[in-house]
Chain A
Amino acid sequence: AQSVTQLGSHVSVSEGALVLLRCNYSSSVPPYLFWYVQYPNQGLQLLLKYTSAATLVKGINGFEAEFKKSETSFHLTKPSAHMSDAAEYFCAVSGGGSQGNLIFGKGTKLSVKP
C-alpha cells in the first residue's frame, strides 16, 4: 500500500528565502510522485510530477523536487520565496499505472513573510 508523510503542517519563510517542503513516501511498487498546490477556496493544481524519468523534476512557478529512492523522499524546493507562493502544498503518491488513484499527504501550509 502507498502512503505519504509530509513533515510539518505549517512552514513559514521570509520573502526571498529558500522554500523546503518535506515529503516521504512508502510504496510497494515504483511510485509516481506529485506535488500539488491549493490556493484558498480553489481546487488543487499540479506543480510537478515524477514518473520514473529524471530524478530532478522542475515544475511551474520555479519549484522543483528531487526523487531520492534511498531516502524514500521527494522534497519540494524553491530558491527564493515570493508572497504569491503562500498556499497549501500536497505531496501525493500513485501506485503506478496511468490511472492509479492518488494518495495525498496531510498538506503543508506555507506562509511567506514580507
Chain B
Amino acid sequence: DAGVIQSPRHEVTEMGQEVTLRCKPISGHNSLFWYRQTMMRGLELLIYFNNNVPIDDSGMPEDRFSAKMPNASFSTLKIQPSEPRDSAVYFCASSSTHQAFFGQGTRLTVV
C-alpha cells in the first residue's frame, strides 16, 4: 500500500482565495483524521470521520473551514476564504485499530 496520500504537497495562495486539500486514506481504514501543525499551537485535531461520517469537528477553527468524506477513499479539507493565519502544515491520517498512519502533509502558505 502506498500509505496515506495527500495532495498537493505545497500550496501557496493569496488571501481570500479558496483552498482545497485532498487526502486518500489507506484502503480498509475506516477512520480518517485531519490535523493542523503550527509552531505556535503544535498539532491540533481539526476533524475526524468514522465510516465516512464526521464524528467530531470541534477542532475546526471557524466556518471558513469545511471537510467532506464522500466515500471511503477520499476526503477534502476546504478553506474559503483563506487568510494568512491559516498558513500551516495540514496532515491527514487514517486508522483501523489503535494506530494512525499519517500522510506527508500539505504545507499551506497564504500570502
Which A residues form the contact surface with B (CB < 8 A)?
Answer: 32, 34, 36, 42-46, 49, 51, 90, 94, 98-99, 101-107
Contact = CB atoms under 8 A, between A and B. Distances in A.
Interface of B: 4, 30-31, 33, 35, 42-43, 45, 48, 50, 55-56, 91, 93, 95-105
B48 A101 contact: yes
Nearest to B92: A43
B43 A32 contact: no
Given A36-B102, A46-B101, A98-B97, 10 more contacts: A32-B98, A34-B100, A42-B105, A46-B100, A99-B31, A99-B95, A101-B45, A102-B33, A104-B35, A106-B42
Contacts of B42: 104-107
Given A43-B91, A44-B91, A103 B45 contact: yes
Please indicate which of the listed interface residues B43, B45, B103 has the most CB atoms of chain A within 10 Å of its own CB: B43
A56 to B, nearest CB: 17
A107 B43 contact: yes
Please indicate which of the listed interface residues B4, B98, B104 has the most CB atoms of chain A within 10 Å of its own CB: B98
A58 to B, nearest CB: 15
A44 B99 CA distance: 12
Contacts of B103: 43
A42 B50 CA distance: 25
Contacts of A99: 30-31, 50, 95, 97
Nearest to A43: B102
A105 to B, nearest CB: 8
A104 B43 contact: yes
A46 B3 CA distance: 13
